[in-house]
Amino acid sequence: MTARVQGQEPVATPILHVDMDAFYASVATRDRPDLADVPVIVGGGHRGVVLSANYPARVYGVRSGMPSTRARRLCPDAVVIAPDHDEFSVVSSAVMEVFRRVTPLVEALSMDEAFLDVRGAVRRLGPPAVIAEQVRAVIHDEQRITCSVGVAATVSVAKLASKRAKPDGVVVVPPERVTTFLHPLDVGELYGVGEKTRASLHRLGLVTVGDVAHTPVGTLRRALGDALGTHLHELAWGTDRREVSPGRSGVFGNGGGDPERSMGAQETFSRDVDDREVVLRELLRLTSRVTTRMRVAGVAGRTVAITVRFADFTTITRSRTLSEATDVTQEVYRAAVGIYDALGLQRARLRLVGVRVENLLPREQVHHQHLLGEREHGWSEADRAMDRATRRFGDAAVRPASLLG
């Protein structure tokens, strides 16, 4: 399968599957260098189950979902850390924002993995394999955790490729190598094949993906049903047609088409910054990016939050709730500046800043109350005029004067 980008050569491998490496354990230990080479289990209280285990713990056979009593028997010297779900959510949101800087076509499968369709980004960022390396570098720099990326023509092959890339790597499977890559694998590794289907295939004598591929599709349909038989045949040849669908994501919403609960963006400076004007320009640029996404999604939010990370990697987040929900760039920016100034940082050296709008709701549910003397047409209309210009002429067509140059 080859995806064609208008005005460009076809893109052979436009799909990325990005999967964080031992996500919960990595986040829990990123500020604990003393635990870098020590077996670590996240979760797994006295009667609980393991939420995550780092790679040194996995050597002992510890896996997520395992009863904690068994995990401790397998690895009695492991350090057990209680999960910080708020921190996991913050990091997950930041990672997803990195993906959305690359492409709007992001389908989050969980807090720590997503599919990206990058065919629209190759002109700007380079080939998919280069984009994969850029994503890994940014996540490592901004969040100090690692990820693995599979690059392929289809979602199912990309998913399998990222598994082969672990930990902290990239595997590219071009179309001409798909069958060589797929056919030696156990059928249970195919994307979406669970234990029940795997057992059914094994009972039929179909052990490898190659066995399924070389079984007539009619035979598979009779044994497994029309839909499943056809689907498995396509998976076995790497020809499934499933597209990356942002609407399928249920990570930040409820999976039923409701809006995300928050949207944000953050940026790591090329060098530590202690100049307020530089920080404010970055806050404006990030705010513009966030509110543009909000207007595209048809949402508005009441709570504005900013994140700052200092040169020593200490990170703080502060928020402010507005009187009414908004998607207006200047209103969000004013709130972000107010939060920043209230921190009283003066000459503190900053490594990263971020802006997030939370408590989102559909735009049609927001009823703006005009203030006495307020112009009928103002910043909201200006934002929408800019949106129309950028859709037609590109992102650089219109921007705030302070961001020029």
What's the one-letter identity of residue 75?
A: C
Per the annotation, does 112 bind a ligand?
yes
Query: What's the angle, vertex CA 75, arms to CA 70 and CA 80, rounded to 5?
Result: 85
Could you tell me which residues are beta bridge partners of residue 357?
A: 263, 304
What are the φ and ψ backbone dihedral angles of 50, each rounded to 5 degrees? -75, 125
Look up residue 193 and give its DSSP letter.
-
Give CA–CA dist 37/394, Å, rounded: 47
Give CA–CA dist 276/342, Å, rounded: 13
Burial of 357 (0-12, 13-18, 19+ CB in 10 A): buried
- 323 close to 303: Cβ distance less than 8 angstroms: no
Three-class DSSP category at 375: coil
Give CA–CA dist 115/334, Å, rounded: 34
What are the φ and ψ backbone dihedral angles of 362, each rounded to 5 degrees? -55, 140
Per the annotation, does 19 bind a ligand?
yes
Q: Largest Cα–Cα distance of the chain, in whole Å?
A: 78
Q: Is 113 a catalytic residue?
A: yes
**Cβ contacts of 113 within 8 Å, gap of 6 or more:** 17, 18, 19, 20, 162
Give CA–CA dist 355/368, Å, rounded: 23
Three-class DSSP category at 211: helix
Buried b (16+ CB within 10 A) or exposed e, 86-102: eebebbbbbbbbbbbbb
- Number of CB atoms found within 10 A of residue 34's CB: 8
- Catalytic residue (one of 97, 113, 142, 267): 113
Question: Residue holding tokens 């735009």?
Answer: 363
Binding site residues, as ranges? Answer: 19, 112
Tell me which residues are annotated as active site: 113
> Which residues participate in the annotated binding site for Mg(2+)?
19, 112
